[in-house]
Each structure stands twice: as C-alpha cells, then as structure tokens.
Amino acid sequence: MEQYVAHAFIVSGVLLIVAAILFHRVANLVFLFLGIGFIFSGSVVLLETMIETWVCAFLLGVIFIGGLIIVFWKPLKDIQEKTKHSHIDSELHQKQFVLDADVNITSEWEYHHSGINWKVKSVEPLLKGTLVRIERIENGTLWVSAI
C-alpha cells in the first residue's frame, strides 16, 4: 500500500481543488490550500526525494500548507477588507417634497413613496411645510436638505 502514497496525495489534492471550485464560498481557501499542499507533498514523494510513507507525506503537506498560509495571509486579508463604496442614483435622488412634520437628525417621521415608508432625517432642523430635496439614501432613511 505504501507504493501508492504519492498518487493518493496528488489525486486527493486535485479533488480538494475541484471541491474548492465547485463549493465556492464554503471554506474554499481551506480546500484550496489543502489541495495545493497535498499535490506538493505527493509530487515530492513521487520524485523520491523523501521516504515514501503516509506520515512523512502528510507532515510535508502540513508544513507546506503552513508556509502557504504564512505567505498568503496578509494579501488575502487585505483583499477581504477592501470594500467598494459606490454612489447609486435612483428615482428618489434629487426628488423634492414638502415636509408634513418637523425633521432633524433624530426624527422618526416617515415619508411614504412607492409602497415603502422611509424615515426622513436631516442634519439641520427643518420645520413642517419646508420644501426639501433628497440628498442621499441609507438603509431605509432619506437624508434631506432644504431647497
């Protein structure tokens, strides 16, 4: 059985990489690193540069996976932390309407538009009857300013 160690590790590595591709978003980096580590350790054993045992091949794979994690930890962490904030214009942007209640930064007054009740807030206090324009939209809140 020891003669198939290299082949078993290479096939296992390929299957892990295929699993990482098929089941993306579910621990795909773990499967990817395990697959690359298994392929590497299987290749080293296949080239007869180390003893052909399951334990040696597994330990070599673990060492290689650890090296991959150390090398790629910072770049992958930086990629995950980058968020793209984009401004999207919709039919509500720049829309004008008259306030039916006083509005400020903590107000709970709601404006009904397109079947949705939007909370209306303003950085500056605005009185009932003021003509306002929607400046930005955030999570069910319309931020307005006086015209």
Q: Name every residue whose Cβ is closer than 8 Å to that of residue 45 and which is 6 or more positions away in sequence.
A: 5, 6, 9, 52, 56, 57, 60
The superfamily (CATH) of domain 96-146 is: Nucleic acid-binding proteins (2.40.50.140)
Q: Name every residue whose Cβ is closer than 8 Å to that of residue 91 and which is 6 or more positions away in sequence.
A: 114
Query: What value does the mean pLDDT take over residues 6-19?
Result: 90
Give the angle subtended at the CA of 40 by the CAs of 9 and 43, to the nearest 5°. 70
- Summarised one tens digit per residue, pLDDT across range 53-105 is 888 888 888 899 889 889 988 887 787 777 666 666 677 777 899 999 999 99
The predicted structure's pLDDT at residue 50: 78
Query: Where do the domains of the chain lie?
Result: 2-81, 96-146
CB of 105 within 8 A of CB of 123? yes
Query: What value does the mean pLDDT take over residues 117-137?
Result: 92
Residue 125 reports pLDDT greater than 90: yes
pTM higher than the cut 0.85: no
